[in-house]
Amino acid sequence: DNVIDASKFPLPEIERVTKSNRKIGLGVMGFADLLVRLGIPYDSDQAEQTAIEVMRFIHSEGVKESQRLAELRGAFPNFAGSIFDLPGQKPMRNATITTVAPTGTISSIAGCSSGIEPYFALAYERHVLSGETLIEIVPLLGESLLKEGLDQEKILKQVALTGSLRSNDDVPDALADLFKTSLEIPPERHLAVQAAFQQYTDNAVSKTINLPNETTVDQVEDILMQSYQSGCKGITVYRDGSRAEQVLSAGIGQSGNQEAGTDTGKPGDNVTHPRSRPDVLIGTTQKFKIGCGNLYVTVNSDDMGITEVFTNTGRAGGCASQSEATSRLISIALRSGVATDAIIEQIRGIRCPACIRRDGVNVTSCPDAIARALQSVVQAPAAVRVAQNEQAASVNATAATQHFGQCPECGEPMIMESGCHICKSCGYSKCG
């Protein structure tokens, strides 16, 4: 309440409205840590009940204190005639008492989990001013591993790579359940926790409901309707991979700056993982007659060269699936730095009886057709290739500026938490 009087306001009208209602917002952070301390999984009925009990206590005590302040300083100016001005109702100093606000930055300073969010990942990279790169593990995880008598060093190394306990056979299921990350928790459970807090929150509850990449439009609609029906005043949903600049994936081994091949992927580079696929690619599609009909081969490129190959036979079956598998492997090889000429050499001339027996077919197999399509792109006039690559680079650069996947301070990937973009590397956050 004192902060309202001490604050500076940009406009007189804002100051008048603020001081007429004197709304405040007591809230929480570190809820995921609390549940771990209590031994309660986030996606459980007990977690929902805990949320209700915590927020009911905060709201009840906040109301009592606001009524006490009203006796000393007077009710908020708009109290008379408001919904709070009821027979037998004590005057209140503040029109609202509770809010669950985004706490990305202050929770990082305090060293606890953010707001009412579950853990986004159990391991992060943090870059400090000295130039060092530190691997941060959720503190309670280390404590729990020691308490269980488990091999802390071995398990934490695995967590640093994956961001999760699920892939570690040495960890008991009960402990893994306590440390589920946001994408391991069903959307319905995310919403249930938010709705539980909303019951005793005057204003809105800041919460991100993380959805897996395969989530459909209908499923998103269902979540939105459930949030409305449960009384939530606001909701944020984020489908993994929905941005052109992918937000931070759980685990150091999967983060952008640790992914070998992300920076270059040029022929001759020593890479083990494919670089990321740009949002927009430029390419050509060629038609070949094969033993099973027609094969359409699409070759796409970006500013670094050929990036991927697609095939389509217009029909299902073994031939189509084999061509798709071949195309996928070629695409991975191209983005991992394998020279196009080396790929062409490996698949050119492969023979298929169906192609050999049919008149009018000038390729020996589907892989041979793919090799010919690649060869034609490689041999295309340099001016054409440069123009296509520059067009792809320009479109992707524009797309990148329209999203907030990378931190503007340090360039590292950001995560979506409590409705805010948060950088776990340097602490930057942006809400709204």
Which of the two residues, 351 and 167, has the higher pLDDT score? 351
Q: Is the pLDDT of residue 390 over 70?
A: no
Instruction: Please give the Cα distance from 283 to 306 (Å, whole number).
Output: 9
Domain ranges of the chain: 2-105, 119-252+409-431, 282-393
Which of 95-104, 249-258, 278-287 has the least mean pLDDT? 249-258
Beta carbons of 159 and 171 less than 8 angstroms apart: no
CB-side exposure of 60: number of CA atoms within 13 Å?
A: 6
Question: How many residues does the structure list for the chain?
Answer: 432
Asked whether 271 and 361 are in contact (CB, 8 A), the reply is no
Q: Would the pLDDT of 357 be above 50?
A: yes
Q: Can you tell me which residue has the tokens 């067009």?
A: 391
Please state, in angstroms and as integers, the Cα–Cα distance from residue 176 to each residue in 42, 117, 184, 191, 250, following that order.
Answer: 11, 17, 11, 21, 15
How much is the mean pLDDT over the chain? Answer: 82
Instruction: Please state, in angstroms and rounded to a whole number, the distance separating the CA atoms of residues 219 and 251.
Output: 26
Of 420 and 257, the structure prediction assigns the larger pLDDT to: 420
Indicate if the pLDDT at residue 379 is higher than 90. no
Strands 420-422 and 208-211: unpaired
**DSSP-derived 3-state class of residue 226:** helix
Q: What mean pLDDT comes out for the span 232-260? A: 61
Cβ contact 198:51 at 8 Å: no
pLDDT bin (cut points 50, 70, 90) of residue 123 is: confident
For range 3-27, the mean pLDDT:
96
- pTM greater than 0.85 (yes/no): no
Distance CA 4, CA 17 (A): 11
pLDDT, tens digit (0-9, with 9 covering 90-100), for 84-100: 999 988 999 999 999 99
**Which of 119, 192, 121, 186 minimizes the C-alpha distance to 156?**
121
Tell me the C-alpha distance between 101 and 117, whole Å.
11
What dihedral do alpha carbons 17, 22, 28, 29 form, nearest 10°? 50
Query: Average pLDDT in the 74-78 region?
Result: 96
Mean pLDDT is lowest, of 20-29, 335-344, 360-369, 375-384, for 375-384
